Amino acid sequence: MRDTRTKVSIFLMAGAQAMLNSTTSIMISSASLVALLLLGTDKSLATVPVTAVVTGTALATIPASYFMKHVGRKAGFLFGILLGMLGASIAAYSIYVGSFIGFTLGVMLVGTCSAFGNYYRFAAIDVAGPEFRSKAVSYVMAGGLVAGFIGPQIASHTRDLYAPYLYLGPYLAIILLGVFALVFVSFVKIPHIRNQVFDEKPRPLLEIMKQPTFILAALSAMIGYAGMSFIMTATPLAMIGCGLTPSDSFNVISWHVVAMFGPSFFTGSLITRYGDFKVIFVGAILGLVCIGVALSGLAIANFWIALVLLGVSWNFMFIGGTTLLTKTYRPSETAKVQGFNDFLVFGTVATASLSAGILQQTLGWDVVTMSMIPFFGLVAIIALVNLSRQVRAVAPAE
């Protein structure tokens, strides 16, 4: 990194990322269980709130990108945090009055906060410079490691705090996490991206999308994130269905989130040393290994190991895809490409999370996990193809 101020800004964004991911992990580990309490006899809609979170993210992703282009990253982050706090307030009130629809709308608004917060990783590149892109992204994403410890644990320990209004505590805690995030972002120094003048003319989006590297970058992030959400969303329901307890579910999700963000301390170095293609390939293979472990039994150890492998898979595929994406567009195309990429990612994730609940309730855990085999396999194959092209391209020079 270039100077102390840059390092401080990266650290503060990592803190804001930790608050964002703690919020997300609280909702992922509890929203389906809240839905079970608020729904009537038909529990097939139990994952709808989780889907609403991701839908809110998907719908707000492109507007968030253009909003920050005009007002600046920092103002956009602050605005997004305030939206999340408002959404958490609505969700908490809906739990109090027993409204499933109100709860779903509240967490959907929290999802819009994530749409803004997901640009922390790109803001890190703005701060650190392109030469440090992989390490900057990794350091900010490493802030999510904190979320693995405090997110599900907040959900677990505040679950009964306002009994008989179960799970009211976790959604009030999300408001407090928002306060911390506001403080962190307030002291971040981010270069303004608005009103910039560029030498080169922006290319049409379709032309950018045709690049093999863009295809791999987008697919890696889409399938890595959607596969993670797909399996993770179904996990609490599957564990409860196997006779395990909500506490068991919280602990498994907790270690899953740790596995998602823990590798971020060295993922950037791995990308620098071995390249994006190899890291993405390994991430896809870990996704397939996760499925094998999940299919081998229904003991708590199977869920735990599978979800840890799934977390590392997500880390390699999402960070690898993000850093690779930054090589596919020009500065004049930043907002357009970043917004469209994240729309693809979270639109896919929304579809996956809704499908997970339906499949889990109708066809069971084995079908949920096996459904991801062709998708992880596809990314592994495309990564190998791109890697072979890269090797052939540099071979004459050697």
Asked whether residue 121 is domain-assigned, the answer is yes
Asked whether residue 197 is domain-assigned, the answer is no
DSSP at 130:
G
Q: What is the pLDDT of residue 100?
A: 93
What share of residues in the chain are helix, strand, coil (percent, to 5)?
80, 0, 20
Number of domains making up the chain: 1
Question: Of 318, 319, 313, whose CA–CA distance to 377 is shortest?
Answer: 313
Residue type, 17: Q
Number of C-beta neighbours around residue 209 at 10 A = 16
Asked whether residue 345 is domain-assigned, the answer is yes
Asked whether residue 119 is domain-assigned, the answer is yes
CATH number for the domain including 89?
Answer: 1.20.1250.20
What totals of helices (H) and strands (E) does the chain contain, helices first? 17, 0
CA separation for the pair 296, 280 (Å, rounded): 25
Q: Are 325 and 227 in contact (CB under 8 A)?
A: no
Question: Of 84, 372, 68, whose CA–CA distance to 191 is shortest?
Answer: 68
Asked whether residue 196 is domain-assigned, the answer is no
Asked whether residue 198 is domain-assigned, the answer is no
Q: Are 47 and 35 in contact (CB under 8 A)?
A: yes
Residues in the chain where the model's pLDDT stays below 70: 1-3, 42, 44, 129-135, 141, 144, 147-148, 191-199, 394-398
The boundaries of the domain holding residue 291 are 4-190+203-394
Q: What is the pLDDT of residue 219?
A: 94
Q: pTM of the full predicted structure?
A: 0.74
Q: What is the pLDDT of residue 175?
A: 95
Asked whether residue 195 is domain-assigned, the answer is no
Q: What is the pLDDT of residue 199?
A: 63
